[in-house]
Amino acid sequence: MSVLFEPIKINRMEVCNRFARSATNDGGADEDGFVRDRQVTLYEELAAGGVGLIVSGATNVQKQGQILPYQWRITSDEHCRGLSKAAEAAHRHGAKVAVQLFHGGAEAGTYGASRGFTAKAPSRLSGDDPFFPFFKSEYGVLTSGDIEEIIRDFGKGARRVREAGCDAVQLHGAHGYLFSQFLSPYINRRTDEWGGSLENRQRFILETYREIRLQVGPDFPVMIKLGVQDSFEAGLKFDEGARTAGSLDDAGFDALEISSGARGPGWNKTEFKTGIRETADEAYYRLWSREIRPLVKSPLILAGGLRSFELMEKIVAASDADIVAMSRPLIRQPGLINRWRQGDRTRSECISCNQCVQALVEGRMALCGQLDKGA
C-alpha cells in the first residue's frame, strides 16, 4: 500500500490518509456567514471522495476581519449549527474537518468599505512607499486593546469550533492576512511589544495560540498555515519564516502547513501559481518544507501546485512533508483521491487557470471554470 494511504495522528485526531483539502473559501455561505446546505453537500462529496482531512475556508472570528462576501463566520453560537452539519457529513465517510480561523486585517478594507466598517492593520504604510498600495482601501491602526480583543475572539471562535463537533482548528497565518501582516517586517512598523524584533512580530501568533489552548484544552488539535516568506524583496525572509516555524512548534502547535506570506503585487505567481503543466512545475513550496523539516517535530503539511500521485508519494516517503494538501484539483475533481486509491493514478485534470479564484473575487461560488464550459 502507498504511504499516502497510511493514517497519521495530529494530537488526538487520527486522519485516515495523507490527503488534505487545503483551506478553500468556496464562497457558498450566506450574507451573515452561515453555512448553507450546498456546502454541506460539498463536504460530503469531498469526504466520500476519499479526502482524509478537510480544512474549511477562511472563517471570520470578527466581522471586521472579513475580506469577501459569503465567507463563513464563527462570531456567535448560532454559527455552530452549520459547522456541525458539515462535520457530520464528513464524519459519515471517515473524514475529519478542521476549521480555518481567520482575520484579514488591512485586507478587509474593500469589503469593510462596502459594509460600513473600517479595517485595521498592525501599522499604516505611507502613500509614498514604493510597495504601496498592497491594501487597496482605507484602513486604520490596531490599538493594544483591539489586539487583545481579536485574540479573545480567536479563542471564542476555537471553542465554538470544538463545541460544534469539528475536529481541529487551523490559524490562517499566510498570504498577507492579519497574522502574516504582524510577522512581516515590511507591513508591521510598530514600535511597541507587537512589532520590531522577530520575537515581537511573532507575539500576536503566540498569544493567540495560548488563548486558544486555554479555550479548547490540551487534546484538541491546533494547527497553523504559515507563510514563511513574503513575495517581495523588503518582506519576510525565509530565514525568519523558518525560525518562526520552529518557535511555533516549540510553543505547542500540533501541525504546520507551509505556504507563502504577503503577496505583493500579484497572486498568480504566489500561492495560486498558474502554468503548472508538468511535474517539474508542481510542489512549488517543497524546498521550504524540506528545510523546515528538521526544525519541527509535529506533522508538516505541504500545499501548492500538487497534481501528481507519484510526486506526492515521493514527497511523503522522503519526509519532506507528512501530509499533502490540494485545493484547486479538488474543486475540479472532489473524488480524485478514491480514483487514485482504486488504481487509476492519472494526474489531476486541474490546469490551474484560476477561474475558480476569479469567481470567488467576483462574489460567485468557487467552481471549476473548465467544467462550466463542459470540458
Give dist(CA 101, CA 173) in Å, integer: 9
Neighbouring residues of 99: CB distance < 8 A, sequence distance ≥ 6: 55, 56, 59, 72, 74, 83, 161, 166, 168, 169, 170
Give dist(CA 51, CA 181) in Å, integer: 31
Q: Which of residues 151-180 bind ligand FMN (CB under 6 A)?
A: 172, 174
Q: Which of residues 209-228 bind ligand FMN (CB under 6 A)?
A: 225
Strands 13-15 and 168-173: unpaired
> Which range touches ligand FMN (CB under 6 A), out of 21-29, 39-47, 129-137, 308-316?
21-29
Considering only residues 4, 10, 23, 236, which one is a binding residue for ligand FMN as defined by CB under 6 A?
23
Give dist(CA 229, CA 259) in Å, integer: 8
CB distance 62 to 72 below 8 Å: no
- 285 a catalytic residue: no
CB of 348 to ligand FMN, least distance (A): 9
Among 67, 72, 45, residue whose Cα is nearest residue 56 = 72
Binding flags for ligand FMN, 333-362, as an x/- string (CB under 6 A): -----------------------xx--x--
Neighbouring residues of 197: CB distance < 8 A, sequence distance ≥ 6: none
Closer by beta carbon to ligand FMN, 25 or else 208: 25
Which of 43, 111, 139, 177 does the annotation list as catalytic?
Answer: 177
- Which stretch of DSSP H or E encloses residue 111? helix 109-115
Q: Which of residues 259-298 bind ligand FMN (CB under 6 A)?
A: 259, 271-272
Q: Which of residues 84-103 bind ligand FMN (CB under 6 A)?
A: 100
Closer by beta carbon to ligand FMN, 234 or else 311: 311
CB of 369 to ligand FMN, least distance (A): 11
Considering only residues 49, 57, 105, 241, which one is a binding residue for ligand FMN as defined by CB under 6 A?
57
Q: How many CA atoms lie within 13 A of 11 on its CB side?
A: 21
CB of 304 to ligand FMN, least distance (A): 5
CB of 88 to ligand FMN, least distance (A): 22
CB distance 20 to 325 below 8 Å: yes
24 binding ligand FMN? (CB under 6 A) = yes
| Residue ranges that bind ligand FMN, judged by CB under 6 A | 22-25, 57-58, 100, 172, 174, 225, 259, 271-272, 303-306, 326-329, 356-357, 360, 366
